[in-house]
Chain A
Amino acid sequence: MMSTAIFVAVAIFLVLFLLLIMRREEVEEQESVQADGSTQRECRDTLQHPGLALRIFSREDREFILLMRSPRLQRIYQEERRKVALHWVRQTSREVSRIMRTHGLIARQSRNLDASAEAKLFFQYLQLRFICGLLVLLIKTFGPHALHDLASYAGELSQLIGRALPDAAAANHVASSGNPGTP
């Protein structure tokens, strides 16, 4: 009972922390956008270009830079991609917030509001804000290829653990042979 309560408290704290990060990011971005006068270029079609994210987080580009074997180039590449990736996350988050605000204004005047659809929409919005917060945190901490790097690291770790425990394979074999459903 106690451990569940702690788990829930940690989860709530994490969500609030990420939302706080996103809020701070949004304020910083708005200030910088106002400072450099780039509001004219404000996105109108970010959400219509899912391919853009693939280009920003492209593995092909990263491998091309790695082939050069220049630490300086790699550092510059990481820094450049980090900036663009953060810009993309912030912009996506800001754009969705703007859409939700507009939707909220319209919904307030609507007479036949579908409560379940609204709740679902709001939940999806919270999910997206949470993912954006997580992405900002990951990109800032581990770089633009954070998810791929973390997955690779997890793979390497599991291999290391597998090698460190020589009897694990035998134990697995015994476990699977004991299960008649397993080939």
Chain B
Amino acid sequence: MSDPARLVTMNNAYDDLLRRTLSSIQSDLTRLIYLASTRDYNSGVYHHEGLSARYGPESTRVALRAAHKDIFYKLIALSLEELVNELEIYVRISREAPTGFIHTWQELEPYRVAVPMEVDSTMVQLFLSNIRLALEVLRFRQEHSQAYPSASSLQPLLGR
């Protein structure tokens, strides 16, 4: 395949990924985790059966890698408050008990594997730090809502 033709295929794969798959996912953090889950832990290579069948494995890999980085950059640009909202949505989607979820994420730090490869190290540090802070904020809200149930009814509550 010639270079321009390959570029068109990659663009089509990327558009398809955005239009069909990622648009149906509720939040950017959930999209990031979904995209990270398409990457092999050992090789770092991205896989997607449907896209590969349509556009070939190479274009699919490039599209997934690009989408992963783009979503990561979007999350880095969010304020802490917006990231807390993203995390709140993700907790709700996971259908886990918020307390257990927060505890597990603080203990195991599974969000570390959601970071794309070959991105700026300060961005990685900022992302990981912001997630740790967002977890602390959710934990604080959770504890606060348990201690003051009537007062917390005025705030957006976790797991509502």
Interface residues of A (CB under 8 A from B): 38, 40-46, 49, 51-52, 55-56, 58, 60-61, 64-65, 68, 70, 72-73, 76-77, 80-81, 83-84, 87-88, 91
Contacts and interface: CB of A to CB of B under 8 A. Distances in A.
Ranked nearest first, the 8 interchain pairs of A and B with the lowest CB-CB distance are A61-B80, A80-B129, A41-B121, A88-B122, A64-B81, A43-B120, A87-B125, A84-B125
A45 B120 contact: yes
Contacts of A76: 132-133, 136
Contacts of A60: 79-81
Interface string B111-137: 000000111111111100100110011
A49 B123 contact: yes
A109 B122 CA distance: 34
A60 B122 CA distance: 19
Nearest to B84: A64
Given A38-B121, A41-B124, 13 more contacts: A41-B120, A42-B121, A49-B123, A60-B80, A60-B81, A61-B79, A61-B81, A64-B81, A65-B137, A70-B140, A72-B140, A73-B137, A80-B132
A9 to B, nearest CB: 36
B133 A87 contact: no
Most buried by B among A38, A41, A52, A81: A41
> Interface size class for chain B?
20 to 34
Contact of A46 (B81, B120, B133): B120
Overall SS of chain B's interface: helix
Interface of B: 76-77, 79-81, 117-126, 129, 132-133, 136-137, 140
A87 B129 CA distance: 12
Contacts of B76: 52, 55
Given A41-B124, A73-B136, A76-B133, A64 B79 contact: yes
B81 A87 contact: no
A133 B122 CA distance: 18
Contact of B122 (A40, A73, A84): A84
B9 to A, nearest CB: 26
A41 B117 CA distance: 7
B75 to A, nearest CB: 11
A81 B80 CA distance: 12
B117 A40 contact: yes
B126 A56 contact: yes
A43 B119 CA distance: 7
Contacts of B117: 40-41
